[in-house]
Amino acid sequence: MALLEGPTTAGKRHCEWQVERSPAIVLEALLRIVPKEGDEIVLGELVELVLRLRDEAGVPIKWVTAESFRWMGPLLPLRQRGCQTDEISPDDPQPYNALKSAIYDGLLETYHYPIFSHLFLQKEQLFHHL
């Protein structure tokens, strides 16, 4: 879960008097769900988890993204309950490039999570070879 903080001057400096202001991204929680062998992730249960985190635990979830689906079923309940939703293709390099820019510009804050680092490096290798 990421929190976008207000614009910061930590973005790109074009010259001494012109600085591009960009939002800081704070990753407060990362959750990886791995199904048991022979099992699968039930999207409805995942949606319910997100809603419970927001409604019962008070986590300020406002925007939810997911891989592209053939139908909008998994994201529809979130949208109906006030979350902004977007679909992201795992083959689209744009979200990865935005994350990479945030890292290089010093705009990403998070804790050490080896799986996140590993997945980021896998994407780096994948898109580097395209």
Contact 110, 27 (CB under 8 A): yes
In 13-113, alpha helices (H): 43-55, 76-80, 93-104
What pLDDT, on a 0 to 100 scale, did the predictor assign at position 17? Answer: 54
Q: Could you give the angle at which helices 114-128 and 93-104 cross, rounded to 10 degrees?
A: 120
pLDDT of residue 8: 54
pLDDT of 27 reads: 83
Instruction: Give me the residues paired with residue 27 across strands.
Output: 2
pLDDT at residue 33, as a whole number: 85
Q: What is the pLDDT of residue 13?
A: 52
pLDDT at position 86, please? 87
d(CA 86, CA 112): 27
What is the per-residue pLDDT for 70? 57
User: Which residues of the chain are under the pLDDT cut of 50?
Assistant: 11
Q: Give the pLDDT of residue 69.
A: 63
